[in-house]
Structure 1
Amino acid sequence: MSLKVGDIITFERTFTVRDVELFTAISGDEGIHHITPDEKGRLVVQGLLTATLPTKVGGDHNVLARKMNFEFLRPVFTEDTIICEVKIEKYERQENNRISILATFLCINQNEKQVLSGNFSGVILTGH
C-alpha cells in the first residue's frame, strides 16, 4: 500500500497479563506495578509495550525509524483495548531510493481517554 500525506492508519490491541509477563521478561522492566496486580486484578502495561502500537504501524510499512517521541499521558492496564491512530504528515521521495516519512500518533483507550501521543520519523527504502 502506497502512503500519502493525510493518510490515517489505525491499529487496535487489547493487552493481556501474558503480554506484560513476556515484555517484563524481555525488557527487564520489573516495576512493582508491572508484576503485582491492583485491587481489580490488573497490571500496569509498560509504557514501551504500549508504544509498540505505533511502531507496529511503522513496521507494517517498512519504516526504518530515525526518531521517535512518546508522551505517556495515563496508565494502560491489562485488558484495556487501545486504538492507535497514525497520521502521515510528510511522505517525500528522496534520492538513493528512499522515502522520507514523518507521522504523528494518538492512542486512546476503550473509555476514550488519551493514553499516548507522539511522532516518529524515518525512511523507507524502496529498492528501485
Structure 2
Amino acid sequence: MPLKAGDIITFARTFTLRDVEVFTAISGDEGIHHVSPDEQGRLVVQGLLTATLPTKIGGEHNVLARTMNFDFLRPVFTGDTINCVVKIEEFEKQENDRSAIHAAFLCKNQNEKEVLKGNFKGIIL
C-alpha cells in the first residue's frame, strides 16, 4: 500500500552487545563508553547505530534521503528495546514518477523515555 501524509510506521529493536561490537568495528567509533561495560555490564550504543531505526523504515519504503536531522536525547544501552514511530508529515507525487516525502520520528526506550527524535526529507524511487 502506498504511503500518504498522516501514516504512522513503527519498528522496535533490542540492541545487543554484538550489535555494538560490529558497529564499533565498522564505524571505528571506539569511545570508551562503547567498549567498556558500565557497572551493570552494559555498553552505550553508538548514536548513529540508534539512528538506524528510522533509516530502516525509510529503507523499507525506498526513500533516498536528502536531509536527516537527529536530536540524541539520552543514552541507549545494550539490552534496551527502542521503539521508533515515524509519521509521514508530507507526501507529494512528482511529475517524474517519484514522490517527495517529509517524515518526523520519535524513539523511546522500554521505559517510555525519549532517546532520539528528528526528521528526514527525501524522495521515493
Percent sequence identity over matched residues? 78
Q: Who is 1:116 aligned against?
A: 116
C-alpha separation in 2, matches of 1:101 and 1:40 = 41
The SS at the match of 1:49 is helix
The SS at the match of 2:115 is strand
Q: Who is 1:100 aligned against?
A: 100
The SS at the match of 2:3 is coil
How do 1:57-96 and structure 2 match up within 5 A?
Answer: 57-96=57-96
Count of residue correspondences: 125
C-alpha separation in 2, matches of 1:24 and 1:95 = 42
Query: Which runs of at least 4 in structure 1 moved beyond 4 Å after TM superposition?
Result: none
Residue by residue, what CA displacement relative to the aligned partner does 1:7-62 show, whole Å, maximum 9, x if unpaired? 00000000000000000000000000000000000000000000000000000000
C-alpha separation in 2, matches of 1:9 and 1:93 = 19
C-alpha separation in 1, matches of 2:10 and 2:80 = 16
Matched, 1:9 2:34: no
Q: CA offset at residue 95 of structure 1?
A: 1.5
C-alpha separation in 2, matches of 1:24 and 1:101 = 31
C-alpha separation in 2, matches of 1:5 and 1:96 = 19
The SS at the match of 2:57 is helix
Q: How much is the aligned-residue C-alpha RMSD, in angstroms?
A: 0.4
Q: Which amino acid aligns with 2:107?
A: C
C-alpha separation in 2, matches of 1:5 and 1:18 = 36
Normalising by structure 1, we get a TM-score of 0.97
Q: Who is 1:27 aligned against?
A: 27
Alignment gaps of 5+ in structure 1: none
C-alpha separation in 1, matches of 2:26 and 2:119 = 24
Q: Who is 1:43 aligned against?
A: 43
Normalising by structure 2, we get a TM-score of 0.99
Residue by residue, what CA displacement relative to the aligned partner does 1:69-116 show, whole Å, maximum 9, x if unpaired? 000000000000000000000000012111000000000000000000
Q: Which amino acid aligns with 2:38?
A: D
